[in-house]
Amino acid sequence: MPTTYRCLKCGHSFATEFTEVEVLGSLEDVHGAVCAKCTQRVGRGPATCGSCGAEFELFFKHAHRGCKTVSAPCAICGAPYEVSCTCP
């Protein structure tokens, strides 16, 4: 399904395709589309650790819905990085 996606890294909006399963649920981490402006992969974006301040990349499974839900450890110090789901 064609849709407009907003890059989590630079904010650039661009057209891309999502499967029906992705539209109704979560993105797949193997999505091949990238932002034409910064080459960030769809569903991936920057995160900043609240513990050590390091910046690292995470996969946001609801990014196509404008939601940054994620639960993963910091890639540097291992502290938990969590954002609750805000999907309607």
Count up the domains in the chain and report the number.
Answer: 1
Could you tell me whether strands 70-73 and 80-83 are parallel, antiparallel, or unpaired per DSSP bridges? antiparallel
What is the per-residue pLDDT across 67-85, written as a single tens digit (0 to 9) for each?
888 999 999 999 999 999 8
Q: Give the 3-state secondary structure of residue 23.
A: helix
88 falls within a domain: no
What is the per-residue pLDDT across 17-39, written as a single tens digit (0 to 9) for each?
998 888 888 998 887 899 999 99
Look at residue 88 and tell me whether its pLDDT is greater than 80: no
13 falls within a domain: yes
Q: What is the mean pLDDT of the chain?
A: 91
Which tokens sit at 60? Answer: 């946001």
Identify the domain containing residue 46 by its residue range. Answer: 2-83
